[in-house]
Amino acid sequence: MFSQLIADVVTLWGKYGKIYLNGIKNTLILAITATAIGCLIGFICGILQTIPVSKTDNIFKRLFLGLVRVIIRVYVEVFRGTPMILQAVFIYYGVPYFFGHVFKSIWAVSLIVVSINTGAYMAESVRGGILSIDPGQTEGAKAIGMNHFQTMLYVILPQALRNIMPQIGNNYIINVKDTSVMFIIGFSDFFSIHKMVSGAIYKYFPSALIEMIGYLTLTLVASFLLRWVEKKLAGSDSYELAAGDQLVMAAGTYNSPAKGSPFDEQSKEFGKELYKGVDEGKEDGANE
């Protein structure tokens, strides 16, 4: 029984491996590109929505930003509120009525639909991510003369990105799976290969097994990479203590004071006259 299953899987893979792999390739390309474009849309929407407006701004700016907010709201509600499979049909078969034969390419339509969907979800995540950053960060940036764009680019977004990272990962994983609905307009993703192959030779279960393993591999690798990126973004929890005026010694890597570490010895050597305070977490012995 079990050996039969293995034999079937092996035969199937031997015969159609290339086709499965091609499906994986299409799924991957679509999911990655659409997630990237979706994030870009999300960031633009999120930033536009959080531009501060005050009563003293001129009427044109206030009207413009008000309009932008309404448009983004409508966009988010429409695309979050309807099935992606329907959106695909809607655009693929609908747009030619208005623009002639613009959307002949299945790839283009798939990419647009998945990107716009991701964008709708990301817009909210980015907005939330920006709002979650302490307003003191913005004030600090403004106080040294940064404008809104600089404040966003150098101070707020790098911090917001860390909070948003899990959502980006979620969206990517959802996209890996949900691009399968694009079969409706004839996109040949990984899942559509299953329908094609099993329909041809009636090996439903072995093929489904290949699909399961394939999808899991794609998503697990993504989860793993994501954790890694998140860790990178969090920054290291130690820092190099720089030498004072002269190069006293090559500084090694010392843990942060909060961890209670060899740090104390170092501050004794060249921090003493500069530094009179007390670090939290320092051992008592250091505070004579």
Tokens 């192959």 locate to 197
Rounded-to-integer distance, Cα 279 and Cα 14, Å: 64
- In the bound complex, what is the minimum distance in angstroms from residue 72's beta carbon to other proteins? 26
Q: Contacting other proteins (CB under 8 A), which of 60, 81, 97, 280?
A: 280
Question: Which distant-in-sequence residues (6+ apart) come within 8 Å of 20 by Cβ?
Answer: 13, 190, 193, 197, 210, 214
Stretch that binds other proteins, among 83-91, 119-127, 131-139, 204-212 (CB under 8 A): 131-139
**Contact positions with other proteins (CB under 8 A) in 50-89:** 54, 56
Query: Judged by CB under 8 A, does residue 128 bind other proteins?
Result: no
Q: Contacting other proteins (CB under 8 A), which of 66, 96, 140, 199?
A: 140
Binding mask 259-278 for other proteins (x = CB under 8 A): -------xx--xx--xxxxx
Query: Judged by CB under 8 A, does residue 288 bind other proteins?
Result: no
Rounded-to-integer distance, Cα 282 and Cα 260, Å: 6
**Contact positions with other proteins (CB under 8 A) in 200-259:** 235, 237-245, 256-258
Question: Which distant-in-sequence residues (6+ apart) come within 8 Å of 47 by Cβ?
Answer: 126, 130, 152, 157
Query: Judged by CB under 8 A, does residue 16 bind other proteins?
Result: no
Stretch that binds other proteins, among 40-48, 105-113, 153-161, 163-171 (CB under 8 A): 153-161
- In the bound complex, what is the minimum distance in angstroms from residue 221's beta carbon to other proteins? 28
Q: Which of 184, 174, 206, 202 is nearest to 20 (CA)?
A: 206
Q: HEC profile for 117-174?
A: HHHHHHHHHHHHHHHCCCHHHHHHHHHCCCCHHHHHHHHHHHHHHHHHHHHHHHHHHH
List contacts with other proteins (CB under 8 A).
54, 56, 134, 136-137, 139-147, 150, 154-155, 158-159, 235, 237-245, 256-258, 266-267, 270-271, 274-280
